Chain A
């Protein structure tokens, strides 16, 4: 069933449509929130609040716009409210990567050298990403992990397209500077 019909059924308070949308977006939305707030427990709380807010406000959603962009903007507003309630210095606080305990355990399991190197590389990148300010890690996540179009990112951020492009360029430049500033670091080739 298509996304549009799922959303239309959600507007009619169909609980099955909600279940299917939850399944469709669970990992992506959770990942986005993890990157934003950098704390899995907080991301879980915000994830729950996001869907409650979606149910409450689904009638305000304009079907001519992207549902994904609307959903992520709802999550973003909740995350911003949460971050504002925290101490201001916490916004730029570097945090560990958002990888799950399962992934960490898997990383400790015996594996080939290539796999270990790839994991080390991914951890390094995740740490560098988490070390960026929230507005930079957010735009990188939306573009590269969520693979959103620039127009959709503009909707989520509620910012003009030119601002999105500028922020994206600054974010990727900042990420590269962070990676290259580490001792012996370089940008590895894709595996």
Chain B
């Protein structure tokens, strides 16, 4: 490939301003002495200038509003999810605390303290059933509250 042919292949890239400084200097030296390549470069440059002036499709105004609204909805949904997650964590911690704490209480009631307080076997079971019922009721209320909170988010998504 001759020098002329090699540099002629750079003309399109030169019009796109995509040559590095050294390549551009080399091409400019060639263009100064080659009228054929200079005329060809003018055509590439004209096409490049034409491309830069193409009309821009305008984003519809309602599109921006839709994007803003959608992102707002997602932000609200995300905030509610975070609250739900925190609530869930607290409920889990609470339930484990109650469970762990119940064992020493049961032991205390069923053994040492039982005789001091004169609590019999029937009384112990009465308190255990009551304790379990309250726990279950608390869990059911918490589950219902979570379900009510998540209903709007499910509708939105």
Contacts and interface: CB of A to CB of B under 8 A. Distances in A.
A27 B13 CA distance: 27
Interface stretch (A61-69, A77-85, A109-117, A172-180): A172-180
Nearest to A47: B63
B58 interface: yes
Interface residues of A, number: 50
A125 B51 contact: yes
Interface stretch (B29-37, B40-48, B83-91, B143-151): B40-48
Contact of A125 (B12, B16, B50): B50
A19 B16 contact: no
A143 B18 contact: yes
Contacts of B71: 15, 18, 51-52, 55
Contacts of B60: 44, 100
B138 to A, nearest CB: 34
Contact of A31 (B47, B57, B66): B57
B25 interface: no
B2 interface: no
Nearest to A153: B18
Nearest to A118: B53
A100 B57 contact: yes
Contacts of B21: none
B112 interface: no
Contacts of B64: 22-23, 26
Interface stretch (A1-9, A86-94, A183-191): A183-191
B58 A30 contact: yes
Contacts of A12: none
Nearest to A165: B18
B66 A169 contact: no
A129 interface: yes
A145 B48 CA distance: 10
Contact of B54 (A43, A48, A129): A129
A129 B9 CA distance: 21
A95 interface: no
Interface of A: 13, 15, 18-19, 22-23, 26-31, 34, 40, 43-44, 47-48, 51-52, 55, 98-100, 102-103, 121-122, 125-126, 129, 140, 143-145, 147, 150, 165, 168-169, 172-173, 175-176, 179, 187-191
Q: Which 9 A-B pairs have the closest CB atoms?
A: A30-B59, A144-B51, A190-B49, A98-B57, A26-B59, A172-B12, A34-B57, A31-B56, A48-B67
